[in-house]
Amino acid sequence: MGDPLRGGVLGHPIAHSKSPALHRAAYGLMGVNYAYDAYDVQVPELAGFLDSVRADGDWYGLSVTMPLKNAALELVDSLTPLARTLGAVNTVIVTRNDDGGTHLSGDNTDVAGIVNALAHAGAARGPRAAVLGGGGTAVSALAALAEMAASSVDVFVRTPAKAADTLALAETLGLAARLRPFGEAAAALAGYDVVISTLPPRGADPLAGDFLAGGAAVTGSVLLDVAYDPWPSALAVAWESRGGSIVPGIEMLLYQGVEQARHFMVAGGHAAPTGGQVGDVINVMCDSLGLARR
């Protein structure tokens, strides 16, 4: 069979990542000879790492996580329209040029991951929505909410003056959005149908305490917390205790990983899963993550 083509997930910290289990399950099911590992890479190291990928010539793709999503934008050879609009890359597809060189294309599958995770949880179209945080994942959350035809979006950030680009993106996406100080979030969260926290692990813990102290009910509302380790997060526990539904970030990881795997298989010259195969891939990925099958 020969040596496998290489792929992996890049970020810092990365030891907690479940992406290797997720992707290995998919490629094993499909009989694709791919390796997939985790690589601890910080922003100053990213350019050199991608240069080595180009030089090696035996890679098919990379998943990109924090804090590299914005930095990757300037280091790949081309961008999909979605990645360019969002200014964030979570997927690098590696292909060969006609002259034998290596081409790196940046894409963003986080949007599909968020939309599908919320849909699986029963979130309705046209929600009143809030986003916690203004980083690389927040822009994907805005695009997902635009796809869900959100009626309005409030983005809670610690420094609104530094988030003008986030507001400009929302306008580009056709979203009625406004920036709000992070300190107002705890008292406001009960007013939304969908809340997406894009904060890092434990980043919302103080907010969770303030939210609980307020005592407001959130029955019928959905919280997607993209941080999945540890799980449940303090915010998820608080949200559920007030009657809301919670969606772990691992659900987003699952659905964005399905899209990545399809791109990566094609990049290496394999057929992407179709029809019932897609459901089979989702189910083995669920098994790898300890999630219930779909």
Catalytic residue among 23, 69, 262, 263: 69
Q: Give the least confident one: 7-11, 157-161, 288-292.
A: 157-161
The DSSP annotation for 43-79 comes to: HHHHHHHHHHHHHH--EEEEEE-TTSTTGGGGTSSEE
Task: Indicate whether this model's pTM tops 0.95.
Answer: no
* pLDDT tens digits along 169-215: 999 999 999 999 999 999 999 999 999 999 988 999 999 999 999 98
Cβ atoms of 79 and 89 within 8 Å: the answer is: yes
How do beta strands 34-40 and 5-11 pair? Answer: parallel
Q: Residue 99 — very low, low, confident or very high, per pLDDT cuts 50/70/90?
A: confident
Q: Is 162 a catalytic residue?
A: no
Which tens digits make up the pLDDT trace of 214-259?
A: 989 999 999 999 988 889 999 999 999 999 999 999 999 999 999 9
- Residue 40's region, left for phi above 0, alpha for psi from -120 to 50, else beta, is beta
pLDDT value of position 136: 73
The predicted-structure confidence for 108-156, as pLDDT tens digits, reads as follows 999 999 999 999 999 999 999 999 998 778 999 999 999 999 999 999 9
**Does residue 66 surpass a pLDDT of 90?**
no
Query: Looking at the predicted structure, is the pLDDT value of residue 44 above 80?
Result: yes
* Residue-range domains of the chain with CATH: 5-108+252-289 (3.40.50.10860), 111-243 (3.40.50.720)
Higher pLDDT, 98 or 25: 25
Output the pLDDT for position 1: 66
Question: Which of 230, 148, 262 is CA-nearest to residue 196?
Answer: 148
